[in-house]
């Protein structure tokens, strides 16, 4: 049976004396990518809590907080069907009432890549995730590799704040043509939607070239050119990084991750792939 709760106190009544809880934080508008996280959570703990909260603190004033897709009824149906135990739908006042200042510190990791383009984003993410952890007290929390930098920041937060939650990264779920599923893909026009799968195709080509001894710098600049040729309007970054510190790599490394953010009109797409 799936319980729908809106407040921390209702939530904690349901979770009393429970020490096998997995949390899947989301912003709703659920798709197969989110559901794969829930399925993984079901393998990791007896009770699965899925939170749906469109976090105002991770949107800049010019971003799409007001128009971010909200499909609560459909989300509840999907989560009930898949057998999530608790759906937590807090109001912003529930999340931000006890913390008037951000108790987390994302540091350098929050200023690079996505953080360079969206300066307040990761501070907002860390704040809400920390607060959800305080409310749910999960043994395990699942995050998608789709948002690879977010996953690295949550890993670092848990380590630095010594939080008693194990973080698990889940693989990226894609459309048949390779486009990583995202709640924001609905913003793509038909023309943009035909260009979008080139992002993953070019990432795959770059991975192949790097693994077959192409130099890192020439591969990154060729990848940028290919994205523009494929029809992307601009590129925020194409970067080969260490997968924990996200420091740029100049030599092959077993923990490398290739990360990209590119724009089609007003829509930003992000994707990433492991290399070596
Ligand atoms: P969001 O609702 O976009 O904040 O995402 C909630 C969680 O789902 C995050 O941990 C995301 O990384 C994850 N997620 C989003 N899209 C995908 C995807 N295509 N595959 C796997 N996980 C995803």
The answer to whether the beta carbons of residues 173 and 43 sit under 8 Å apart is no
Q: Is 206 left (phi over 0), alpha (psi -120 to 50) or beta?
A: alpha
Of the candidates 81, 11, 109, 106, the residue with the CA atom closest to the CA atom of residue 51: 11
Test site for ligand 1: of 23, 26, 84, most ligand atoms within 8 A of the Cβ: 26
pLDDT attached to residue 97: 80
Distances (CA, A) of 46 to 25, 30, 99: 17, 22, 29
pLDDT attached to residue 99: 67
CA gap 152, 276 in Å, rounded:
19
- Protein residue whose Cα sits closest to atom 12 of ligand 1: 144
Q: Is the distance from the beta carbon of residue 183 to the nearest atom of ligand 1 less than 6 Å?
A: yes
- Protein residue whose Cα sits closest to atom 6 of ligand 1: 26
pLDDT attached to residue 188: 98
- Which ligand 1 atom lies nearest to the CA of residue 173? 20
pLDDT in tens, 210-220: 999 899 999 99
The answer to whether the beta carbons of residues 26 and 49 sit under 8 Å apart is no
pLDDT in tens, 28-79: 999 999 999 999 999 999 999 999 999 999 999 999 999 999 999 999 999 9
Q: Is the distance from the beta carbon of residue 154 to the nearest atom of ligand 1 less than 6 Å?
A: no
pLDDT attached to residue 98: 73
Test site for ligand 1: of 26, 29, 34, most ligand atoms within 8 A of the Cβ: 34
**Going by C-beta distance under 8 Å and a sequence separation of 6 or more, which residues neighbour residue 162?**
none
Count other Cβ atoms within 10 Å, centred on residue 30: 25
Chunk the chain into consecutive blocks of 10 residues (it has 276) and report each block's average pLDDT, rounded to whole numbers: 97 97 98 98 98 95 93 98 98 86 95 96 97 98 98 98 98 98 97 98 98 95 98 98 96 94 97 97
Test site for ligand 1: of 27, 37, 203, most ligand atoms within 8 A of the Cβ: 37
CA gap 220, 235 in Å, rounded:
12
CA of 144 to the centre of ligand 1 (A): 5
Q: Is the distance from the beta carbon of residue 53 to the nearest atom of ligand 1 less than 6 Å?
A: no
Q: Is the distance from the beta carbon of residue 37 to the nearest atom of ligand 1 less than 6 Å?
A: yes
CA of 190 to the centre of ligand 1 (A): 23
Q: Is the distance from the beta carbon of residue 58 to the nearest atom of ligand 1 less than 6 Å?
A: no
Catalytic annotation, residues: 34
Q: Is the distance from the beta carbon of residue 170 to the nearest atom of ligand 1 less than 6 Å?
A: yes
Q: Is the distance from the beta carbon of residue 40 to the nearest atom of ligand 1 less than 6 Å?
A: no
pLDDT in tens, 216-236: 999 999 999 999 999 999 999
């Amino acid at each position: 049976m799936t319980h729908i709760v809106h407040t921390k106190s209702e939530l904690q009544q349901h979770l009393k004396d429970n020490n096998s809880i997995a949390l899947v934080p989301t912003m709703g508008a659920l798709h197969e990518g989110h559901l794969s996280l829930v399925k993984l959570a079901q393998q990791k703990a007896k009770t699965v809590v899925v939170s749906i909260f469109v976090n105002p603190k991770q949107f800049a004033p010019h971003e799409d907080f007001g128009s971010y897709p909200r499909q609560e009824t459909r989300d509840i149906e999907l989560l009930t069907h898949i057998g999530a135990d608790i759906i937590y739908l807090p109001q912003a006042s529930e999340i931000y009432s006890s913390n008037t200042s951000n108790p987390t510190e994302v540091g350098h990791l929050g200023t690079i890549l996505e953080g360079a383009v969206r300066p307040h984003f990761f501070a907002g993410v860390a704040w809400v995730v920390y607060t959800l952890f305080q409310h749910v007290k999960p043994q395990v929390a699942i995050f998608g590799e789709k948002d690879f930098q977010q996953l690295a920041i949550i890993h670092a937060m848990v380590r630095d704040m010594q939080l008693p939650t194990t973080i698990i990264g889940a693989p990226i779920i894609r459309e048949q043509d390779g486009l990583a599923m995202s709640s924001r893909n609905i913003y793509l026009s038909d023309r943009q939607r035909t260009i979008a799968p080139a992002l993953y195709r070019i990432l795959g080509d770059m991975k192949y070239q790097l693994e077959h001894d192409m130099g890192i710098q020439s591969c990154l600049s060729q990848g940028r050119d290919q994205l523009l040729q494929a029809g992307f309007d601009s590129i925020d970054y194409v970067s080969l990084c260490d997968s924990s510190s996200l420091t740029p790599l100049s030599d092959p490394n077993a923990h490398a991750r290739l990360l990209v953010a590119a724009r089609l009109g007003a829509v930003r797409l992000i994707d990433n792939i492991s290399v070596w």
